[in-house]
């Protein structure tokens, strides 16, 4: 039956190629009707080498980047057509579609890009690293204690913008010979200054619970997803009370590896629809929208997996439960917040109502939460993180000026003509001036 598998793979490849071609045509058409990018205008670029499936990594930066662009003009260098199409359709910064290395070179030759920001660890980031005389900065797409946050790839960047002291400690435990003091800059979480989106319901006396699971993961060490192990039981319990409202925000990649995981996700979505049909006042929400913020602010309690959502919620300073992975091989960093968080085991998922009530009224849990919020994000007062983000960019612009001037001096020295009487070593035969 190998030929059947090969045929299916071939068909899938053809379909992807056709979808990519349609996306390229759509992007080209959109760009044709937009005004051209002004020459020598942009100072900051965000390099994005992914397609639409990973747009969540970019979306959370839209508003912080829009604010930054008031001082330092920002452009997104998009390498994949489906990603570029999504960026052009959304409230993103200006987009340059640069699918080939030649396109990248042509665009940056016409600009004055001094800082390049990276939201993920796509291997194609290395195609941008070839361009020196500018700062390459990893800003990530969230803060978490997953192993992704301590990858040795951090060393490939000139700098990393990190949320706070917890990130520095995490990197220090894992990376060898990495100068944390010099190469990391704390910025808190600027996204928390730009919570967006309107409530899709009218608030009432119901207790609002946000359930935001991650995807199933592609290897045992990353098996953090809880939809199969916890999700159906806890959502069923919350829907049954008549006094809770569920906001369900699954990871957009849920089910891409495990079909049954995706099927469980669909069953939860169907259960919300059924519950709303039976009780229209409940107004449970399946949320797959691009905006992240209103969910974090509206929920009385959040139930999240080990992912960036733990720390998105932590930055909001409000109660949360973290699902404990059932795979014993899942890597869990117990040095940071996860050593003191409120865990929800799979066996306790059907009793989630009692757990929600407990964390809402536990003063000791609230005190612990306050401590960890500060440890991870520093000053979380409105505007503080945005100020840190802008100061970090300002610092790099200043350093760019210093190194740029130094490079110009070096270039001038290299291009100076040799003196008329060049110094040479005549101790060996056969040498003559200038050779």
Break the chain into its structural domains and give their ranges.
Answer: 37-141+382-435, 207-377
Characterise 119 by phi-psi region: left (phi > 0), alpha (psi -120 to 50), beta (else). Answer: alpha
- Residue 14's pLDDT is 61
- Residue 430's pLDDT is 37
**Residue 98: enclosing H or E segment and its boundaries?**
none
Burial of 235 (0-12, 13-18, 19+ CB in 10 A): buried
- Residue 4's pLDDT is 55
> In angstroms, rounded to a whole number, what is the distance separating the alpha carbons of residues 76 and 84?
9
Give mean pLDDT, residues 369-390.
94
- Residue 23's pLDDT is 85
- Per-residue pLDDT band for 350 (boundaries 50, 70, 90) equals very high
Please indicate whether residue 422 or residue 293 has the higher confidence score (pLDDT).
293
One fold for both 37-141+382-435 and 207-377?
A: yes
Confirm if 83 and 53 have CB atoms less than 8 A apart: no
DSSP 306: S
Please indicate whether residue 29 or residue 434 has the higher confidence score (pLDDT).
29
CB atoms within 10 A of CB 207: 16
> In angstroms, rounded to a whole number, what is the distance separating the alpha carbons of residues 304 and 292?
14
**147, pLDDT greater than 70:** yes
Query: Considering the chain, what percentage of its residues have pLDDT values greater than 90?
Result: 73
Largest pairwise CA distance in the chain: 100
> In angstroms, rounded to a whole number, what is the distance separating the alpha carbons of residues 318 and 327?
28
In 3D space, the residue among 235, 241, 160 whose CA is nearest the CA of residue 205 turns out to be 241
- Residue 421's pLDDT is 44
> In angstroms, rounded to a whole number, what is the distance separating the alpha carbons of residues 280 and 345?
31
- By three-state DSSP, how is residue 16 classified? helix
**261, pLDDT greater than 90:** yes
The lowest-confidence range among 14-28, 137-151, 163-177, 296-310 is: 14-28
**428, pLDDT greater than 50:** no
**7, pLDDT greater than 90:** no
- Per-residue pLDDT band for 86 (boundaries 50, 70, 90) equals very high
> In angstroms, rounded to a whole number, what is the distance separating the alpha carbons of residues 375 and 189?
12
- Residue 12's pLDDT is 65
- Residue 19's pLDDT is 75
Task: Say whether pTM exceeds 0.85.
Answer: no
Confirm if 135 and 156 have CB atoms less than 8 A apart: no
- Residue 433's pLDDT is 32
The residues with which 321 forms a beta bridge, in sequence order, are 303
Q: What do you get for the CA distance between the two ends of the chain, in Å?
A: 70
DSSP string, 336-392: SGGGTS-EE-GGGGGGHHHHHHHHHH-HHHHHHHHHHHHHHHS--STTHHHHHHHHH
> In angstroms, rounded to a whole number, what is the distance separating the alpha carbons of residues 324 and 355?
14
**Angle formed by the axes of helices 363-377 and 308-316, to 10°?**
110
* CATH number for the domain whose boundaries are 207-377: 3.40.50.2000
- Per-residue pLDDT band for 6 (boundaries 50, 70, 90) equals low
The verdict on domain 37-141+382-435 having CATH code 3.40.50 is yes
Give mean pLDDT, residues 197-212.
95
| C-alpha distance from residue 428 to each of 418, 421, 424, 432 (Å) | 22, 18, 10, 10
**434, pLDDT greater than 50:** no
Residue-wise pLDDT tens digits, 88-120: 999 999 999 999 999 999 999 999 999 999 999
List all residues 6 or more positions away from 287 whose beta carbon is below 8 Å from its beta carbon. 200, 247, 248, 249, 295
- Residue 102's pLDDT is 96
> In angstroms, rounded to a whole number, what is the distance separating the alpha carbons of residues 196 and 277?
28
Please indicate whether residue 23 or residue 80 has the higher confidence score (pLDDT).
80
- Residue 435's pLDDT is 27
- Per-residue pLDDT band for 226 (boundaries 50, 70, 90) equals very high
**358, pLDDT greater than 90:** yes
Query: Considering the chain, what percentage of its residues have pLDDT values greater than 70?
Result: 91
In 3D space, the residue among 181, 182, 157 whose CA is nearest the CA of residue 169 turns out to be 181
Please indicate whether residue 407 or residue 163 has the higher confidence score (pLDDT).
163
The residue ranges of DSSP E strands in 200-288, in sequence order, are 207-212, 244-248, 285-286
Radius of gyration (C-alpha) of the chain in whole angstroms: 26
């Amino acid at each position: 039956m190998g030929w059947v598998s090969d045929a299916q793979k071939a068909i899938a490849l053809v379909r992807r190629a056709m979808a990519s071609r349609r996306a390229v045509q759509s992007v080209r058409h959109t760009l044709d009707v937009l005004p051209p990018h002004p020459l020598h205008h942009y100072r900051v670029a965000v390099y994005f080498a992914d397609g639409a499936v990973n747009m969540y990594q970019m979306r959370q930066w839209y508003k912080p980047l829009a604010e930054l662009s008031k001082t330092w003009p920002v452009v997104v260098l998009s390498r994949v057509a489906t990603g570029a199409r999504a960026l052009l359709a959304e409230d993103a910064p200006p987009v340059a579609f640069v699918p080939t290395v030649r396109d990248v070179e042509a665009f940056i030759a016409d600009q004055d890009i001094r800082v390049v920001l990276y939201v993920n660890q796509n291997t194609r980031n290395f195609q941008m690293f070839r361009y020196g005389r500018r700062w390459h900065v990893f800003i990530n797409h969230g803060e978490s204690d997953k192993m992704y946050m301590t990858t040795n790839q951090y060393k490939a960047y000139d700098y990393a913008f990190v949320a706070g002291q917890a990130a520095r400690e995490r990197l220090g435990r894992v990376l060898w010979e990495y100068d944390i003091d010099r190469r990391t800059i704390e910025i808190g979480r600027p996204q928390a200054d730009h919570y967006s989106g309107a409530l899709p319901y009218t608030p009432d006396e119901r207790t609002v619970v946000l359930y935001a699971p991650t995807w199933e993961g592609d290897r045992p060490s990353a098996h953090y997803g809880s939809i199969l192990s916890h999700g159906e039981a806890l959502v069923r319990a919350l829907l049954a009370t008549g006094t809770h409202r569920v906001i369900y925000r699954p990871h957009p990649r849920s089910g891409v590896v495990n079909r049954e995981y995706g099927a469980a996700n669909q069953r939860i979505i169907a259960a919300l629809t059924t519950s709303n049909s039976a009780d229209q006042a409940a107004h449970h929400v399946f949320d797959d929208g691009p905006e992240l913020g209103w969910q974090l602010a509206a929920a009385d309690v959040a139930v999240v997996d080990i992912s960036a959502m733990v720390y998105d919620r932590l930055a909001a300073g409000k109660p949360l439960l973290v699902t404990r992975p059932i795979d014993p091989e899942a890597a869990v960093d117990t040095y940071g917040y996860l050593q003191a968080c409120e865990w929800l085991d799979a066996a306790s998922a059907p009793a989630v109502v009692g757990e929600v009530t407990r964390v809402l009224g536990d003063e000791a849990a609230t005190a612990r939460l306050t401590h960890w919020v500060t440890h991870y994000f520093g000053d979380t007062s409105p505007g503080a993180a945005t100020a840190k983000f802008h100061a970090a960019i300002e610092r790099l612009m200043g350093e760019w000026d210093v190194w740029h001037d130094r490079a110009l001096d070096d270039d001038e020295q290299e291009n100076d003509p040799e003196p008329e009487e060049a110094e040479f070593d005549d101790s060996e035969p056969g040498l003559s001036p200038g050779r």
